[in-house]
Chains A and B, each alone.
Chain A
Amino acid sequence: MAKVPVQFTLNGAEKAEFVDSGTTLLHALRDKIGDTSPKGGCHQGTCGACSVIIDGELRLSCLTLAETCNGATITTTSGLSEGGVLHPLQRAFLDAFATQCGFCTPGMIMAARVLLDHTPNPSRDEVVEALSGNICRCTGYEPIIQAVLTAARSNSQHAA
C-alpha cells in the first residue's frame, strides 16, 4: 500500500503521520493521531458529526482526504478548551442542557464556533443556518440553538 506523509497543525500542535493514500482526514485524526472528538456518523457528508475547522472554514473530515490538508491549520472540539477551562460555547452547551447522547455535540460545537468567529452576534436565523448541516436526533435542536445564542451573548459581554 502506498503510504503518504501528512503534516498539519492540529489544535496548535504539529502533527506528522504516514497514511494510506486516499485516507480521509476523519480516519487520520481518529485512528492515527488519536483525536476521537470528530465522530463518524454517516461518512456521506449528511450528518455533520465529523465537522472540523480547516484554515478557518468548517469542513467535513469524512469527505476530506488527509493528504489534501498538508500545511493546514486544523481545529477540533478536543482543542477548544484551554488550560482545563471550557470555551464559552462548551460552557453554554452544559448550562443549556444541550447535550443528550453527545454524539453530535463536537460537530455542533465546531459549526457554532465558526459562526461566532465570523458573526459574534448572530440572529436566531443565522444560528439555525449555521447548524443546518448537523443532525441531532435527541434534543429537537432548540436547546442547541439556545446554547449558541447564549454563548454569543456571553462573548459580547466579555468584549464589552
Chain B
Amino acid sequence: MELRKNYFADQRKDDLHEIGQPRPRSDSPGHVTGKTAYFADRNFPGMLHLKMVRSPHHHARIRSIDTSEAEKHPGVVKILTAKDVPHNVYTILILIQIGPEDETVLADGKVRWKGEAVVAVLAESERAAQEAAAKVKVDYEVLPAVFDMEEALKPGAPIVNEYHGQNHYLYDSGECRKVRFGDVEAGFASADHVLEQSYQSSPIEHAPTETTGCVVAPEGNDRFTCYTNTQAMFFTLDNTSIILQMPGSKLHFVGGTVGGGFGGKVDVIVEPIAILGAKLTGRPVCFVYSREEEMQISSPRAAEKVVIKDGVMKDGRIVARKVTGYTDAGAYSRHSPYGAQKGAGHYPGPYTIPNVWIDTYCVYTNRTPSSAMRGFGVTIGDFALEVQMDKLARLIGLDPLEFRFINAYRDGDMKAHRQPTEGAALIECMQEASRAANWPVAEKYLAMSSYAKGA
C-alpha cells in the first residue's frame, strides 16, 4: 500500500504522534497464541444446548405442533414454542421507529420461509437436542409461495407477510422511497441517447469464520449475562428487553472480539430465545448456529434488481438518470426497509446530474429474510451504476474513464437529495488510477480538481 501525500496536503496535518502511525495491533498477540476469548470459549457447568426445529416449507399454515414425544426424550430439559415468548411478534428497527412489528421469534400459526424457527429444544447435549428435535411433529398445510420480486408485486400474488398486507414495505412516501430532482422526462427528451438497462444480483452470505451465537448464564440474582458476538450490544439488549418483556436492567451483554461480522451479526435472533431458555430452566444455555444455518438461515445480503435509464449527450454529459431499485427482503423486514431507503440516498452515484428520479422498493418474498451486509444498500447499486457508466461511454464512443471525469461531482455541486457536495475526491482517485493503471486520459482531466468547478 502506498499513501499518496501529494493530494490534499493543504487540508491535512501530518505531524501527529499516534495518528498515522502503523502501531502494532494490541489484539494480535491474543490471536496468534489462541488466547483471544470469543463468546463460544465460555463454558459453564450444566450448560444446555439449544437446537431449532425449522420449517421445511417456503410458506405454510401450521395446523398443530406436537412436542410430547420430544419432551420425553432423554436429556431434554425444555421445549419452547411461540406461546412461551412474551412478545413474540417483533421487528428490530422498532427501536428507531421503523415498524410495523412483522416477525415471529418462534412461528405462530404460519411459516413464511423455508428454515423459519418453529420450536426450540433445550437439552443436556447437542446430540440429545438434535434427537429430540427430530421427534417434534409439526402438521403443515402448504400454501402457495412467491420467490420472484416482480411476481410478488403483481396483483393476486400470495401475501407473504400479513403484517404488511401487501408484498412491499409502505414508506411515508408510499410504496417506495422517492427522490425527485429536476425534470427527468425533459432530460430524456433533450438527450442525444437514452439507454435503459436492468441489473440483478443474488443473495450473498457474510460467511464469517465464526458462526452467529451466544452463551447465556443466569447470575442467580435474576440477572442474565449473555456472551454474544452481536455487532451491536445495546441494540440487541434493547430488542431482547422488548421481546422478553424484561427490564433492561436484568440483562448484561458481554461481547469482545467477534470472529468476523460483515453486517451478518446485527440481527437480533439467537440472544432472546437463548435468554428465555436460561430464564425458564435456570441453567446456562448455548445457542450457536451450525455452519449450515449460517449459510442458509442467517440473513444474507439481499438480492437486488436495479433498472437504470439514462439520457446522455454526445459530449458525454449525463442529463437525466432514472433509477428503480428493488430489494428482496425475503419474508420479514429486519433491516431491509432501511437498506432500500439508503439506496435512494446513494443514487445517482458520485456524479452531478441535473435531472434525477429515484424509486426504491423493499419487496417481500418467501425466502430467508435478508439484512445488512458490508456496503448495505449501495454495493449492488454501485455494480449497476458503474456497469451502466461503461455502457454509456461505449455508446457515445468515449473513453470510460474520461466519461466519468466529465460527470464527476465536485465540491458545491447539488446532489439529487439536495445536499451540496462536500469533501469530494472522486476526480483525484481517478487521476491516480489513470497513472497507476497506465490508462491515459486527456491532460484537461488531469488538471481537474474536486475543490471547485471551472478549475
Contact = CB atoms under 8 A, between A and B. Distances in A.
B250 interface: no
Given A30-B43, A138-B260, A102 B30 contact: yes
A109 B35 CA distance: 13
B34 A78 contact: yes
B33 A101 contact: no
B211 interface: yes
Main secondary structure of the interface of A (DSSP, over half): loop
A69 to B, nearest CB: 19
A137 B34 contact: no
Given A43-B291, A47-B209, A90 B260 contact: no
A101 B210 contact: yes
A103 B38 contact: yes
A135 B209 contact: yes
A103 B210 contact: yes
Nearest to A95: B24
B31 interface: yes
B34 A101 contact: no
Contact of B36 (A22, A30, A102): A102
B200 interface: no
Contacts of B211: 41-42
Interface residues of B, number: 33
Contacts of B29: 86, 94
A103 B33 CA distance: 11
A80 B33 contact: yes
A67 B177 CA distance: 60
Interface string B21-60: 0001101111111111110110100000000000000000
Interface string A22-40: 1000000011001111111
Residue among B25, B125, B211, B260 with the highest chain A CB neighbour number at 10 A: B260
Interface in A1-56: 20, 22, 30-31, 34-44, 46-47, 49
B41 A36 contact: yes
Contacts of A60: none
Contacts of A121: none
Residue among A104, A109, A137 with the highest chain B CB neighbour number at 10 A: A137
Contact of B40 (A37, A40, A47): A40
Given A135-B209, A137-B260, A105 B290 contact: no
A104 B34 contact: no
Main secondary structure of the interface of B (DSSP, over half): loop
A81 B34 CA distance: 10
Contacts of B248: none
A102 B33 contact: no
Contacts of B262: 137
A101 B28 contact: no
A86 B32 contact: yes
B209 A77 contact: no
B105 interface: no
A81 B257 CA distance: 22
B32 A105 contact: yes
Contacts of A22: 127
A103 B34 CA distance: 9
B208 interface: yes
Contact of A136 (B28, B33, B41, B209): B209
B258 interface: yes
A95 B404 CA distance: 39
Interface string B254-275: 0001111010000000000000
Given A135-B209, A137-B208, A137-B209, A101 B257 contact: yes
Nearest to A103: B259
A41 B34 contact: no
A61 interface: no
Interface in A101-124: 101-106, 109
Interface in A129-150: 135-138
Contacts of B37: 36
Contact of A97 (B25, B34, B206, B257): B25
Contact of B259 (A36, A93, A101): A101
12 contacts: A30-B41, A30-B43, A31-B43, A39-B40, A41-B291, A77-B34, A94-B32, A101-B260, A103-B38, A105-B34, A137-B208, A137-B262
Given A36-B41, A37-B33, 6 more contacts: A38-B34, A42-B211, A43-B290, A94-B24, A99-B25, A99-B27
Interface of A: 20, 22, 30-31, 34-44, 46-47, 49, 76-78, 80-81, 86, 89-90, 93-94, 97, 99-106, 109, 135-138
